[in-house]
Structure 1
Amino acid sequence: MLGISEVTALLFLSSFNSTGLVSALALFVLAVDLMPAVAAQQSANKWRHSFEMVPMRDGVRLATYIWFPKGDGPYPVVLIRTPYGGAGVIDWQTERLLENGYCIVGQDPRGRFKSEGSALAFMADGWGEHKDGVDTVEWIAKQPWCTGKVGTWGVSGPGITQMLMAGAAPSRLACQHIGIAAADLYHQAFFQGGELRLELAIYWLQRNGYDMQAHAKLVMEHRLYDEFWRQLNLNEPNVRPNAPMLNWSGWYDIFSQGAIDAFIAGKHRGGPKARHDQILIMGPWPHGIAKDFGQAHLPFEVLTPPMIDCLAYFDYYLKGIKNEVANAKPVYYYTIGDITDPECKLNRWRAADDWPVPCNYTPMYLHADGTMSFNKPAANGQPRSFIYDPKNPVPTLGGNNLFLEKGPFDNRELEKRSDVLVYTSAPLTEDLEVTGRVKVKLFVSTSCTDTDFTAKLCDVYPDGRSFNVLDGIVRPRFRNGCTKDEPLQPGKIYEVEIDLWSTSWVFRKGHCIRLDVSSSNYPRFESNPNTGELFALSVDLNDPLKPNPNRRTIKARNTVYADAVHPSCVILPVVK
Structure 2
Amino acid sequence: MKVIHEFPRSVQEIENTFIPLADGIQLAARIWMPEDALENPVPAILEFLPYRKRDGTSERDALTHPYYAGHGYACVRVDMRGSGESDGILEDEYLKIEQDNALEVLDWITTQPWCSGNTGIIGISWGGFNGLQIAARRPPSLKAIVTIASTDDRYSDDIHYMGGVMLDDNLSWGANMFAFNSQPPDPAIVGDRWQELWMARLKANDPWVLNWLEHQRRDTFWQHGSVCENYDDIECAVYAVGGWADGYSNAVPRLLANLKSPCKGLIGPWAHKYPHFAKPGPRIGFLQETLRWWDHWLKNESTGVMDEPQYRVWMQNSNDPLPYYKERPGRWVAEPSWPSPRIKDETWFLNPNSLSKKARRSESLLIQTPQNMGTRQGEWVLFGLDPDGPADQRQDDGASVVFDSEPLDKSLEILGAPKLRLRLSSDQPNAFIAARLNDVAPDGASTRVTFGVLNLTHRDSHENPEPLIPGKIYEVCLPLNDIAHSFQPGHRIRISLSNTLWPLLWPSPEPVTLSFESASSELTLPVRTDPSGDDELTPFAAPESAPPQSTTQIQPESFSRWVERDEANGTTRANLLIDTGLLRLDSHGWEHGSISRETCEITDKDPNSNKASIHWTMRFRRPEAGLDVRTETYSSLRSTPTEFLFTASLEAFEGEERVYFNEWKKSFPRDLN
TM-score by length of 1: 0.76
Q: Does residue 387 in structure 1 map to residue 368 in structure 2?
A: yes
1:556 has 2:538 as partner: no
- In structure 1, the residue matched to 2:165 is 195
Residue of structure 2 equivalent to 1:432: 412
Identify the residue that residue 286 of structure 1 maps to in structure 2: 271
Q: Residues 435-454 of structure 1 correspond to what in structure 2 (within 5 A)?
A: 435-454=415-434
Offset at residue 517 of structure 1 (A): 0.3
Q: Secondary structure at the match of 1:488?
A: coil
Is 1:413 matched with 2:384? no
1:205 paired residue number: 174
Q: What is aligned with 2:46?
A: 79
Of 224, 234, 238, the residue aligned with 1:231 is 224
Structure 2 gap segments, 5+ residues each: 6-10, 182-204, 530-673
Which of 525, 529, 539 aligns to 1:572? It is 525
Shift in CA distance, 433/292, structure 1 to aligned 2, threshold 3 Å: farther
Judged with a 3 Å threshold, the aligned counterparts in structure 2 of structure 1 residues 129 and 111 are, in CA distance, closer, same or farther, namely closer
Deviations 1:426-478 (A, max 9, x none): 11222222111112222222222212110000011122111110011111111
How many Å apart are 1:238 and its aligned residue? 5.2
> Where does 1:488-499 land on structure 2 (aligned, <5 Å)?
488-499=468-479
Instruction: Report the Cα distance in structure 2 between the residues aligned to 1:124 and 1:306, rounded to whole angstroms.
Output: 30
Residue correspondence of structure 1 range 145-224 to structure 2 within 5 A? 145-189=114-158, 190-199=160-169, 201-208=170-177, 209=179, 213-224=206-217
Of residues 332, 336, 354, the one that matches 1:353 is 336
Tell me, in whole angstroms, the C-alpha distance in 2 between the residues paired with 1:55 and 1:291: 34
Matched position secondary structure for 2:421: strand
Report the 3-state secondary structure (helix = DSSP H, G, I; strand = E; otherwise coil) of the residue aligned with 1:110: coil
Partner SS state of residue 186, structure 1: coil
In the alignment, the residues of structure 1 paired with residue 526 and residue 287 of structure 2 have an alpha-carbon distance, to the nearest angstrom, of 26
Distance in 1 (alpha carbons) for counterparts of 2:328 and 2:86:
51
Structure-to-structure mapping, 1:8-19, within 5 angstroms: none
**Worse-superposed segment, 188-197 or 492-501:** 492-501
Once the two structures are TM-superposed, the CA of residue 387 in structure 1 deviates from its matched residue by 2.8
Unaligned runs of 5+ in 1: 1-21, 33-44, 531-553
Q: Distance in 1 between matches of 2:231 and 2:300?
A: 31
8 Å CA contact 1:131–1:168 kept in 2: the answer is no
| Structure richer in helix, relative to its length | 1
Structure 2 residue 265 is matched with structure 1 residue 265: no
* Equivalent position amino acid for 1:284 in 2: P
* CA distance, structure 2, for counterparts of residue 286 and residue 67 of structure 1: 27
Shift of residue 480, structure 1, vs aligned partner: 0.8
Bigger mean CA offset, 170-179 vs 201-210: 201-210
**1:461-476 correspondence runs (5 A):** 461-476=441-456
User: Over the residues paired in the alignment, what is the CA RMSD in angstroms?
Assistant: 3.2
In structure 2, relative to structure 1, the CA distance for the partners of 1:222 and 1:331 (3 Å cut) is same
Would you say the 8 A contact 1:54–1:64 is kept in 2?
no
Q: How big is each residue's C-alpha offset from its partner over 1:40-59, in whole Å with a ceiling of 9 and x where there is no partner? A: xxxxx962455124326x66
- Pairwise CA distance, 1:307: 8.7
Structure-1 separation of matches of 2:320 and 2:375: 24
- Shift, 1:289, TM fit: 6.4
- Measured against aligned partners, the alpha-carbon deviations of 1:468-523 in whole angstroms (never above 9, x if no partner) come to 10011111111111101211222222222222121111222221110000012223
Name the aligned partner's letter for residue 54 of structure 1. P
SS of 1:320's equivalent? coil
User: Which portions of structure 1, spanning 4 or more consecutive aligned residues, are displaced by more than 4 angstroms?
Assistant: 58-61, 210-214, 289-294, 305-308, 403-408
Partner residue, 1:252: 245
Where 2:157 maps in the other structure, the secondary structure is helix
Question: C-alpha separation between the residues in 1 aligned to 2:474 and 2:13?
Answer: 62
SS of match in other structure, 2:423: strand
**C-alpha separation between the residues in 1 aligned to 2:295 and 2:144?**
11
Distance across 2 between alignment mates of 1:289 and 1:107: 18
Give the C-alpha shift of residue 349 in structure 1.
0.8
Cα distance between partner residues in 1 of 2:497 and 2:217 = 25
Output the amino acid matched with 2:141.
R
Within the candidate set 505, 512, 519, 2:492 is matched to 512
- Distance, in Å, in 1 between the alignment partners of 2:477 and 2:232 is 25
CA apart distance, 1:150 = 0.7
Q: Does 1:133 find its partner at 2:133? A: no
Paired position in structure 2 for 1:524: 504
Is this contact kept in 2: 1:434–1:573, CA < 8 A? Answer: yes
Aligned length: 486
Other-structure match for 1:502: 482
Who is 1:51 aligned against?
17
2:136–2:234 CA contact under 8 A, matched in 1: yes
**1:362–1:573 contact (8 Å) kept in structure 2:** yes
Give yes or no for contact 2:376–2:396 (8 Å, CA) kept in 1: no
- Aligned partner (choices 67, 73, 76) of residue 96 of structure 1: 67
C-alpha separation in 1, matches of 2:471 and 2:328: 49
Q: Percent identity over the alignment?
A: 24
Q: 1:394 to 1:516 in 2, by over 3 A?
A: same
**Contact 1:448–1:489 (Cα < 8 Å) also in 2:** yes
Q: Deviations over 1:23-48 (max 9, x none)?
A: xx3xx79xx9xxxxxxxxxxxx9624
Deviations 1:527-565 (A, max 9, x none): 22x2xxxxxxxxxxxxxxxxxxxxxxx3222222214xx
Partners of 1:464 and 1:239 lie apart in 2 by 47
